[in-house]
Amino acid sequence: MRIDLSGRTALVTGSTAGIGEAAARALASAGAEVVVNGRNADRVAGAAERIGGRGVAADVGTAGGTAELIRQLPDVDILVNSTGIFETGPLFEIPDADWLRLFEVNVLSGVRLARHYAPRMAGRGWGRVIFVSSEAGVQTPTDMAHYGMTKTAQLAVSRGMAQEVAGSGVTVNCVLPGPTMSDGVLAMFDELYPGLGPDEQERRYLAENRAAGSLLRRLIRPHEVAAMITYVASEQASATTGRALGVDGGLVPTILP
């Protein structure tokens, strides 16, 4: 199967590193014109140069930043909502501000962008909206409940939007990675296991945390998530919409998410 996205424009938010950059790179390799996005202009320019795309620096975690991105990029064919933040903490000590901050960045960023782009895709008769959710959206981590809440919310938003654009040629889906060896996770490893190398940090994390249930017995790599995103963005996935698609290495112990 050869995926050809020639002639399609793809916006990948949060794409200066990790899953977002891997997705941007994979979509560009499939022929799409890719727009890289992030908050830092220098990092956006660097990522855009690495993948051979263009960049728009804007903070989509705010209404103003989202409006600026839309002003610079009025139309896209593929929207990958990859922007996201996570943190850990004792559940009953998480303040209101942290719940609201994660919700605005992880959920409202994608809502605001899809609210603009998806109807325009429907008007043209083709489009792809992809939310990068998480297996944490279907099995809530105790020390990341506010993060899990945002990932569950993405599932509901995605399904509702898929129903709203039914029959239009636009599909809306969620991709659910398991714990992934991203820059953020590597930074977390350095806090949890200072002084250890990446291989030993991964081994310790697998033994001590929720990733212990992985059937792969390792963390996911960003390019593996990017492969699923690229497939969902393709013509070959035209009959897949309103779905939650796992890339978790079998971590979620159910047949359906």
Rounded to an integer, what distance in angstroms lies between the CA atom of residue 212 and that of residue 205? 8
Helix axes 18-29, 222-232, angle to 10 degrees: 50
Token duo for residue 237: 């996935």
What b-and-e string marks burial along 45-82, b requiring 16 or more CB atoms within 10 Å of the CB?
bbbbeebebbbbbbbbbbeebbebbbeebeebbbbbbb
- Which of 149, 136, 178, 151 has its CA nearest to residue 19? 178
Provide the annotated active-site residues: 147
Q: Is the CB of residue 10 less than 8 Å from the CB of residue 82?
A: no
Q: Which helix (H) or strand (E) holds 9?
A: strand 9-12
